Amino acid sequence: MIDAIAFAFMLAGLAVCAIGVIGAIRMPDFVNRMHATTIISTLGSILTMIGVALYGFAEGEGGNLAAIDWNYPKSALVIVVCAMVGGAITSHALARACFRRGIIPKNLKVNEMADAPAAPRTEDEP
């Protein structure tokens, strides 16, 4: 029973990841693609890892609590937390670096970093 629920969660994670990949291919701008690939690192990882964690509990099904494999839930929790935190940090850093270096999408209505001072560029002396 728990096996089937875990399989359904993993299948939902695969569907969400497919949506993210389609967005990464089809979206027109860099910022839109970043929006699409964030889906993979949050909802896709969460659903897949819920399935993996449930599989650990499936081995103790039927009252045999000593047979629960706790490695599955623990590793799934670490993966989910690191994927979410790392995804947020890297998205922020990458978007900020691109905006300050002039990699800016064309059809931008409001650009709040337009009058920000240019980043100090530290070139190595040749």
Partner 1 sequence: MPLAAGFALVSLPLLYRLFRGPTIADRVLASDAFVLMLANSLAIFSVAYGRSIYLDVPVVMVVLSCISTLVVAKAILEGRL
Under a CB-based contact definition with an 8 Å cutoff, are residues 14 and 52 in contact? no
Residue type, 115: D
Site membership for partner 1, residue 113 (CB under 8 A): no
Closest among 120, 86, 114, 107 to 32, alpha carbons compared: 107
DSSP 32-64: HHHHHHHHIIIIIHHHHHHHHHHHHHHTTTTS-
Q: Considering beta carbons, is residue 5 or 33 the nearer one to partner 1?
A: 33
Which of residues 67, 69, 113, 116 is near partner 1 by CB under 8 A?
69
Name the site residues for partner 1 (rule: CB under 8 A).
6-7, 10-11, 13-14, 17-18, 20-22, 24-25, 30, 33-34, 37, 40-41, 44-45, 48-49, 51-52, 55-56, 69, 71-72, 75-76, 78-79, 82-83, 86-87, 89-90, 93-94, 96-98, 100-101, 103, 119-124
